[in-house]
Amino acid sequence: MRNAVVTPEGDQIRWVELPGQEPSRVYVHGLGATSPAYFPEVAVHPLLAGRRSLLIDLLGHGISDRPTGFDYTLESHADALAAALTCAGVTGAELIAHSMGGSVAIVLAARHPQLVSRLVLVDANLDPIPPRPASAGSSGIAAYSEQEFLAGGWEESRDRAGSHWWSTMRLAGREALHRSAVHLTRGTVPTMRELLLDLKIPRTYLLPEADGPLPGADALTEAGVAVVPIPDCGHNIMLDNPEGFARATAAALTDREQQ
């Protein structure tokens, strides 16, 4: 396990690192998840193995610190991640980022372009979404005020999340989980989708085939984003179909020329 101080208060981001060749690959988890639990099988898959790989946990999640004074906006997540990668000596990394982690990765690439050479987004959030009370995921968490969430909303969210997601969600700080969900549903200005369209690096978006066409896929494709449906999976593509995920990710990282 490695670590880096990423805030003036001394808070640390931590990651599990697999040795290998450069450029580095950085795996970034989604809301309430942790990269060392979600990505190890695919990171060591024969199609993806051999690169220096950082399975990194965002601030407030997993093995990283959970400060209660941090605001957990997508921009702050991205800047903290940038500080960790800089400390690790990473430049021009290939980011493989799931769900909320994909949103953070887009913001990272826009704000710290020297750190990112390619993006593989895994069913990532591209647009703001309205809070939806009593629903699972970020929209349900964001429907609570922070006071409501800390007073008992987290228990209701736990019950809606189910045992699989809760197994890693329980590691997140409760303030971190709520604030991250709120800012994920609010998105960024410009939106994550608009930032993604403007990036000039190779970009791939993986989504479950069963979800049907990705909204706005034509504009993404026209801007050079490869949109790749993956069969036999749900939102957690790397867990549900690791073979399909590894094939698509390896193709994204090897077959496309730098734009």
| pLDDT score of 258 more than 50 | no
Beta carbons within 10 angstroms of residue 89's beta carbon: 9
Q: Tell me the whole-structure pTM to 2 decimals.
A: 0.97
Contact between residue 59 and residue 183 where contact means Cβ atoms under 8 Å apart: no
Question: Residue range 24-40: average pLDDT?
Answer: 98
CA 178/CA 150 separation, integer angstroms = 9
Question: Residue range 71-92: average pLDDT?
Answer: 98
Q: Which two tokens stand for residue 183?
A: 């800012």
| pLDDT score of 256 more than 90 | no
Q: Is the peptide bond before 133 cis (omega within 30 degrees of 0)?
A: no
Beta carbons within 10 angstroms of residue 109's beta carbon: 26
**What is the largest distance, in Å, between two alpha-carbon atoms of the chain?**
51
| pLDDT score of 52 more than 90 | yes
User: pLDDT category, 255, cuts 50, 70, 90?
Assistant: low
| pLDDT score of 30 more than 90 | yes
Question: Residue range 56-69: average pLDDT?
Answer: 98
| pLDDT score of 161 more than 50 | yes
| pLDDT score of 259 more than 70 | no
| pLDDT score of 74 more than 90 | yes
CA 194/CA 213 separation, integer angstroms = 19
Helix boundaries (H) for the chain: 35-38, 40-43, 74-87, 100-111, 138-142, 146-148, 154-169, 174-186, 192-198, 217-222, 237-240, 242-254
CA 28/CA 16 separation, integer angstroms = 12
The predicted structure's pLDDT at residue 31: 98
As a whole-number percent, the residues of the chain with pLDDT over 70 amount to: 98
CA 40/CA 18 separation, integer angstroms = 9
With b meaning 16 or more CB within 10 Å and e meaning fewer, what string describes 55-68? bbbbbbbbbbbbbe
Q: Is the peptide bond before 190 cis (omega within 30 degrees of 0)?
A: yes
The alpha carbon torsion through 129, 219, 97, 253 (nearest 10 deg) reads 170
Beta carbons within 10 angstroms of residue 152's beta carbon: 10
| pLDDT score of 119 more than 70 | yes
The predicted structure's pLDDT at residue 254: 87
As a whole-number percent, the residues of the chain with pLDDT over 90 amount to: 97
